[in-house]
Amino acid sequence: MTPTTETVVGIGGAAESTDMVLNIGPQHPSTHGVLRLRLVLDGERIQHAEPVIGYMHRGAEKLFEARDYRQIIMLANRHDWLSAFSNELGVVLAVERMLGMEVPARAVWMRTLLAELNRVLNHLMFLGSYPLELGGITPIFHAFTEREELQHVMEEISGGRMHYMFNRVGGLKEDLPAGWTARARACVAALRSRMGVYDDLVLGNEIFRGRTRGVGVLSAEAVHAYGVSGPIARASGVDFDLRRDEPYLAYGELQDTLRVVTREEGDCLARFECLLEQTHNSLDLADACLDRLAELPPGPVNQRLPKVLKAPEGHTYAWTENPLGINGYYLVSKGEKTPYRLKLRSASFNNIQALTELLPGTLVADMVAILGSLFFVVGDIDK
């Protein structure tokens, strides 16, 4: 019998229990901007996750203090570059509340219409880009085709493609162009006719469902703990929408049309489904606004303002249901033409914190699926 030889190969002390630190970013292509994730891995499984932010920080809140109330609108519409009109809206609502100013009815309905069209623009980007992050390239082409049609409508009324600068303290910049409502209605109808692409091409895809169902489950308790809002919160069963629960603009008169879409699963698939159904409902709300605008008589769309606009001394808080969640604006005035303090509570800042709860325990392969399902804009974090 031939004697056997046993060889021991050294691979380092306690190799199997050694954690590896992996940095995702800060220029990773799966994120919409510059975010860094610091992951601690045990093999293929994530043990700890820390979102590292600040790479795009602009110091907007400090700049608000050196700009008058007309100028801060320009700064405020840029943090979530997919929701510029809605960002402007929150600022002017806060200033108007400080001034005790009533906005003409025509401007109220126009603001509501444009806010919902802006919501559709925002959601279309994520409806197309999320499947792309999971390997499906086709939906992004559909999304950008539909966004272009809607961009043309928004550009015609405001002159801007992304940063509209159409809101003003006291109303809007100007009235609707001749024939614009008919073109807007045709655009809404065209978009609605093609929304089935996402139902069939994306939700009907077994690979997409396999990558998202049961992945990245966020509990309702975690939603409340981290201040998560918008479609992400509603996908976890948190039935809250400011448009219904604390109506502003014309939403109080649109309750028959407004549907608050919720799911109970709280996973990546539920978040995508909420976003898709909310897009359908925003198109319905846009049609309802167009119907009401057709009934309104011609009238002003803004208030005449003094050359130097000063808010009275005091403080107020305004919040809006932005496409990505709740945006809050805490305005403090000392009676000057510039804010003493304007604190911005952006939706993405709170939503992205949930990654510390979502990622631990999941596989690295599921990280991009979870990250993409939070539908954040990095500028909205680093405001």
- Confidence at 10, pLDDT banded by 50, 70, 90: very low
Report percent pLDDT > 70 for the chain.
93
Contacts of residue 71, Cβ cutoff 8 Å, sequence gap at least 6: none
Residues 97/320, Cβ–Cβ less than 8 Å: no
pLDDT tens-digit readout, 192-224 = 999 988 988 899 899 999 999 999 999 999 999
Q: Identify the CA nearest to 28 among candidates 348, 372, 358, 374.
A: 372
Question: What's the pLDDT at 13?
Answer: 45
User: Do 166 and 107 contact (CB within 8 A), yes or no?
Assistant: no
3-state DSSP assignment of residue 177: coil
- CATH 1.10.645.10 at 60-381, yes or no: yes
Contact 352, 56 (CB under 8 A): no
Question: Can you list the positions of beta strands (E) in the chain?
Answer: 20-24, 36-42, 45-52, 167-168, 171-172, 314-322, 325-333, 341-345
Query: Is residue 250 within 8 Å of 109, Cβ to Cβ?
Result: yes
358 contacts 367 by C-beta, under 8 angstroms: no
Instruction: For residue 11, name the pLDDT band (cuts at 50, 70, 90).
Output: very low
Tens of pLDDT, residue by residue over 249-273, are 999 999 999 999 999 999 999 999 9
Q: What is the pLDDT at residue 332?
A: 96
- Which one-letter DSSP state was computed for residue 16? G
Beta-carbon-side half-sphere exposure of residue 317 (alpha carbons within 13 Å):
6
DSSP 15: G
- The full set of domain ranges for the chain reads 60-381
Residue 106's identity, in one-letter code, is R
The C-alpha atoms of residue 353 and residue 370 are separated, in whole angstroms, by 13
Answer yes or no: is pLDDT of 46 > 50. yes
* Model pTM above 0.85: yes
Question: Rounded to an integer, what distance in angstroms lies between the CA atom of residue 270 and that of residue 130?
Answer: 13
Q: Which two tokens stand for residue 220?
A: 């309702």
Please provide the average confidence, as pLDDT, over all residues in the chain: 90
pLDDT digits (tens, 9 = 90+) for 79-112: 888 999 999 999 999 999 999 999 999 999 999 9
